[in-house]
């Protein structure tokens, strides 16, 4: 005889992040696909550290930060006064936003959850349930917008195209490819390996091949050569940020390939849900510098001379003249015309 037990069910905020009754669990993308392990975070501080340590990447930090705010809300509910709860939540939000400042997704999701917090405090309601629900909504909205953006992007990719991508554009890329495949077009892909973390070699290559797209891997230095031989039809990446004047901020290496794409007349297509209204130009974006030691190692093993130091500027900025199209959830824009994204709101 079996006795039914009450097993708590996790909230699956994304494939990479689970909100569970006792903790948040984040899929460790640093070792994927060689190992599939989850990092357990008991409070928002542990989530913040996991984000800083690159446990999750691409849109992962958005989901992780939303989940971290949920843990913070649970802790805040144990505080005696509304003011203490407010202060705790504000500090938790700031901690999470400070983890990685180049991409604006953490900033935006935290801002939304702090608004929900205010509303709950004003209504005298506990925070945990409201914040978790809003976190889940934010995640779902992100995925839905990515899907719409993918449809707009797919229209730029012709049948038979060879699509080159850099780093790991996650749902931006998979939704684009899924839309291409739904339309009956066939494409193949080339991924840069994306040192030092090898997101391209591990995550992008794995995902595209899983979708049935013939996928070849190159080192980060080979893109221009393939373009010079006419072997690339489109260069497609996500953007961590697109400024209102059309600068594309993305994983370091993007600029170099975008310049080459321009030289060989290969359209560079940058994917982002929306340009960032808070960033009129590139000066408004803080570029993250990471520990140069990463460049001296490959998956934890020293691969450089012991006599040198590494430097690791994690992002670069591609000026609008090298960008053919910015694709958003509201359609395709010239990098010179991003103000029209917000046109109907004005």
Sign, CA dihedral 7-13-17-23, equals: negative
Question: Minimum CB separation from a second copy for residue 270, in Å?
Answer: 16
Region from 13-21, 75-83, 102-110, 291-299 binding a second copy, contact rule CB under 8 A: 291-299
Query: How many CA atoms are closer than 13 Å to the CA of 239, on its beta-carbon side?
Result: 32
Number of Cβ atoms within 10 Å of the Cβ of 72: 29
In the window 227-256, what residues touch a second copy (CB under 8 A)? 228, 252-256
Q: Is 59 in the site for a second copy (CB under 8 A)?
A: no
Number of Cβ atoms within 10 Å of the Cβ of 292: 14
Rank residues 81 and 309 by Cβ distance to a second copy and give the closer one: 309
236 DSSP 8-state letter: E
In the window 258-277, what residues touch a second copy (CB under 8 A)? 259-260, 263
Rank residues 95 and 234 by Cβ distance to a second copy and give the closer one: 234
Q: Is 196 in the site for a second copy (CB under 8 A)?
A: yes
Nearest CA to 331 among 267, 266, 279, 275? 275
Q: Which residues pair with 25 in a beta bridge?
A: 18, 40
Q: Is 222 in the site for a second copy (CB under 8 A)?
A: yes
Region from 11-19, 69-77, 155-163, 216-224 binding a second copy, contact rule CB under 8 A: 216-224
Nearest CA to 257 among 305, 302, 306, 316? 316
Query: How many CA atoms are closer than 13 Å to the CA of 3, on its beta-carbon side?
Result: 2
240 an active-site residue? yes
Which one is catalytic: 28, 240, 276, 329? 240
- Residues annotated as catalytic (active site), given as ranges: 240
Residues lying near a second copy in the complex (CB under 8 A) are found at 33, 166, 190-196, 198, 201-203, 205-206, 209-210, 215-226, 228, 252-257, 259-260, 263, 292, 295-296, 298-299, 301, 303-313, 316-317
């Amino acid at each position: 005889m079996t006795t039914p037990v009450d097993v708590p069910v996790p909230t699956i905020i994304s494939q990479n992040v689970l909100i569970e009754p006792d903790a948040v669990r984040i899929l460790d993308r640093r070792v994927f696909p060689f190992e599939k392990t989850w990092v357990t975070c008991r409070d928002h501080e542990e989530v913040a550290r996991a984000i800083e340590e690159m446990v999750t990447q691409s849109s992962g930090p958005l989901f992780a930060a939303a989940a971290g705010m949920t843990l913070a809300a649970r802790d805040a509910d144990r505080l005696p006064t509304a003011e203490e709860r407010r202060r705790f939540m504000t500090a938790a939000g700031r901690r999470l936003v400070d983890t990685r400042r180049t991409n604006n997704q953490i900033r935006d999701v935290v801002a939304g959850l702090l608004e929900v917090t205010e509303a709950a405090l004003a209504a005298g309601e506990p925070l945990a349930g409201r914040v978790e629900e809003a976190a889940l909504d934010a995640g779902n909205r992100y995925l839905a917008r990515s899907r719409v953006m993918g449809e707009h992007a797919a229209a730029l990719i012709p049948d038979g195209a060879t699509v080159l991508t850099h780093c790991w554009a996650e749902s931006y890329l998979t939704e684009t490819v899924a839309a291409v495949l739904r339309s009956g077009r066939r494409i193949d892909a080339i991924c840069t390996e994306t040192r030092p973390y090898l997101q391209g070699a591990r995550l992008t290559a794995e995902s595209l091949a899983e979708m049935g797209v013939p996928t070849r891997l190159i080192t980060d230095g080979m893109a221009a050569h393939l373009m010079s031989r006419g072997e690339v039809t489109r260069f497609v990446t996500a953007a961590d940020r697109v400024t209102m004047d059309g600068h594309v901020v993305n994983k370091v290496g993007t600029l170099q390939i975008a310049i080459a794409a321009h030289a060989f007349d290969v359209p560079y297509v940058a994917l982002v849900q929306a340009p960032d209204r808070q960033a009129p130009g590139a000066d408004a974006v803080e570029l993250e510098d990471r520990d140069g030691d990463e460049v001296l190692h490959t998956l934890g093993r020293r691969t450089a001379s012991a006599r040198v130091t590494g430097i690791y500027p994690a992002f670069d900025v591609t000026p609008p003249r090298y960008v053919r199209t910015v694709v958003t959830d509201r359609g395709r824009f010239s990098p010179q015309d991003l103000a029209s994204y917000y046109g109907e709101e004005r």
